[in-house]
Amino acid sequence: MNKIIRSICWFAEDPSDSQVPDRLNAIQSQLMEHGYQIQTKRVCFRTARLDTLPNWDREYGLFLSLGSLGPLSFGPLLNDFLQAGNLAVNLDLTDGVGPEHVDPLFKIIRQNPAKTFNFAYTFNNRLSSPFFPSASFERTGFAVGLQPTNLSAGCSNLLGWFNVMQSVWQEICQIFQGNDQFLGIDSSVAPLFMNHSSIVHFVKRIHGEFSRAVTTDCFIRITDFIARNNPKPVGLCGLMLPCLEDFELAAEYEAGHFSIERNLFLALHSGLGIDTYPIGIDEKPERILAVLNLLQQLSTKYKKPLSARFVSDGKTKIGNISGFQNHYLKDVKIRPL
């Protein structure tokens, strides 16, 4: 069993708690003793000024986040965010979207396009998710998020995968039994790269083609299971469809099988929104605005968390091949939204 923890995230009131790195190391050690591989350790703050952030990203390799900010709070921080290190943030637009909210995205693209990877728009976001950039503080403690696609190795159907996931969730709850700082497990499906870590790879094993699977109940069954059977749920608990992080999904995108419309269709009934979706530097701002406005209205209508993380390399136009220089992102020929 390939047990991979994508994220252990500690939620801290502010950067003054110097014991956070040690706490994360202790949590990592407990999980490793039970055969888990740990990919990242993260910290999300309730309140923090950029000039007070510790250098934990450089000293300990931790990923840091300012959590969710409204437009009035985010605006004054944007310039500093562009210069910050390994720092994530999400802009909460639950209350509505206007043309002025598209401007920060294009400013990031112009001035530091690599930071588009660390930035997302959120709508009716859920608290305490260990996944960035959607993470948002609710109370002090830690949450765990897996890379559950790897648990599908050797499974020939959904039921087999479900059984393995449930056994892992139960084991993690047993490991931290009695620890009142354990907030829970975000059981979101968080795919990455290729083969057994890709959700498309597993779906194609079952259905033959990704496009065929889209019009079956496959994804609804997955999200229904992870929402109902997680023994200690926290955070998003949905299906992530990171267009460029799941390299086999990126191939579907290049083939024209993962348009923004198909992404939104899957997000509406099973997913969490638009994730690492590529845009050209010549994409029209009004098109981005239209998509964000639709996301906001869908999120409100169906009372579900949705987000949008558009990524750009700051130089590639529609019709050309990207050059992200980010090993998490697959370079593709960029299509118009």
Q: Which residue has the tokens 């981005």?
A: 288
pLDDT of residue 249: 98
CA 252 to chain centre: 19
Q: How confident is the model at residue 337 (pLDDT cuts 50, 70, 90)?
A: very high
**pLDDT tens digits for range 249-294:** 999 999 999 999 999 999 999 999 999 999 999 999 999 999 999 9
Is the pLDDT score of 232 beyond 90?
Answer: yes
With a pLDDT cut of 90, the percent of the chain lying above it is: 96
Q: How confident is the model at residue 221 (pLDDT cuts 50, 70, 90)?
A: very high
Instruction: Determine, yes or no, domain membership for 246.
Output: no
Number of domains the chain contains: 1
Instruction: Determine, yes or no, domain membership for 329.
Output: no
Instruction: Determine, yes or no, domain membership for 212.
Output: yes
Mean pLDDT within 231-243: 98
**pLDDT tens digits for range 308-319:** 999 999 999 999
Instruction: Determine, yes or no, domain membership for 288.
Output: no
Instruction: Determine, yes or no, domain membership for 201.
Output: yes
Instruction: Determine, yes or no, domain membership for 83.
Output: yes
Q: Which residue has the tokens 């498309």?
A: 200
Q: How confident is the model at residue 51 (pLDDT cuts 50, 70, 90)?
A: confident
pLDDT of residue 1: 75
Helices (H), the chain: 20-32, 56-59, 71-83, 103-111, 158-175, 199-207, 210-214, 218-229, 247-254, 260-269, 285-302
Instruction: Determine, yes or no, domain membership for 301.
Output: no
Candidates 138, 125, 126, 143; CA nearest to 235 is: 126
Q: How confident is the model at residue 247 (pLDDT cuts 50, 70, 90)?
A: very high
Dist. CA 142–CA 10, nearest whole Å: 4
Dist. CA 106–CA 111, nearest whole Å: 9
Mean pLDDT within 298-326: 97
Residue 111 contacts residue 103 (beta carbons within 8 Å)? no
**pLDDT tens digits for range 151-185:** 999 999 999 999 999 999 999 999 999 999 999 99
With a pLDDT cut of 70, the percent of the chain lying above it is: 100
Q: Rounded mean pLDDT of the chain?
A: 96
Is the pLDDT score of 217 beyond 80?
Answer: yes
pLDDT of residue 262: 98
Instruction: Determine, yes or no, domain membership for 313.
Output: no
Enter the tokens of residue 237: 């608990």
**pLDDT tens digits for range 4-26:** 999 999 999 989 999 999 999 99
The torsion region of residue 73 among left (phi > 0), alpha (psi -120 to 50) and beta comes to alpha
Domain encompassing residue 173: 4-241
Q: How confident is the model at residue 47 (pLDDT cuts 50, 70, 90)?
A: confident
Is the pLDDT score of 133 beyond 90?
Answer: yes
Is the pLDDT score of 48 beyond 80?
Answer: no
**pLDDT tens digits for range 77-121:** 999 999 998 999 999 999 999 999 999 999 999 999 999 999 999
pLDDT of residue 191: 97
Dist. CA 7–CA 44, nearest whole Å: 12
Q: What are phi and psi of 164, to 5 degrees?
A: -70, -45
**pLDDT tens digits for range 191-216:** 999 999 999 999 999 999 999 999 99
